[in-house]
């Protein structure tokens, strides 16, 4: 098991990564025309998007399970499952016009889950001290 401080840092990193993922997915279509000019064509590739989703899911899984061991609450796990379901099931099923909205909801679910995990873990760390 990791320490409370490391878990808090990982939750904050998870929030940042979830926001970055959502921002990438929302902004990529708007700036795709300028990407080749900057030499950043790889940003628009599906592999980058899939990689970001995988990183978000792996970090959330690790931090959420470790957080559960500390605070014994499962609300953050629910948000993690919702976010993952949106990214893996809903996003591919909706059309391109609705994909940014699904991405926003999926990323938001992960951010809320990380926030709850961070909040509840901090509360337990303070109680132990």
Q: Count of domains in the chain?
A: 1
Residue 106 near residue 91, CB atoms below 8 Å: yes
Which residues constitute the domain of residue 58? Answer: 4-124
What's the mean per-residue pLDDT of the chain?
78
Query: Which residues are CB-neighbours of 57 under 8 A, at least 6 positions away?
Result: 84, 87
Looking at residue 86, the DSSP 8-state letter turns out to be I
Average pLDDT of span 3-25: 74
Tokens at 55, concatenated: 């990183």
**Structural domain contains residue 114:** yes
Dump pLDDT digits (tens) for 37-78.
555 555 556 777 788 788 888 888 888 998 898 889 999 999
**Structural domain contains residue 32:** yes
**Structural domain contains residue 44:** yes
CA triple 115-128-76, angle to 5 deg? 25
Q: What is the pLDDT of residue 96?
A: 78
Average pLDDT of span 14-31: 69
**Structural domain contains residue 26:** yes
**Structural domain contains residue 129:** no
């Amino acid at each position: 098991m990791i320490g409370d401080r490391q878990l808090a840092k990982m939750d904050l990193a998870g929030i940042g990564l979830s926001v970055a993922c959502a921002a990438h997915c929302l902004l990529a279509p708007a700036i795709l025309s300028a990407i080749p000019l900057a030499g950043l064509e790889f940003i628009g590739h599906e592999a980058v998007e899939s990689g970001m989703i995988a990183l978000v899911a792996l970090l959330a899984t690790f931090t959420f399970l470790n957080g559960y061991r500390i605070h014994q609450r499962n609300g953050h796990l629910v948000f993690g499952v919702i976010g993952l379901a949106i990214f893996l099931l809903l996003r591919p099923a909706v059309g391109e016009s609705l994909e940014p909205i699904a991405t926003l909801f999926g990323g938001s679910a992960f951010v809320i889950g990380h926030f709850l995990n961070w909040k509840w873990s901090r509360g337990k760390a303070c109680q132990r001290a």
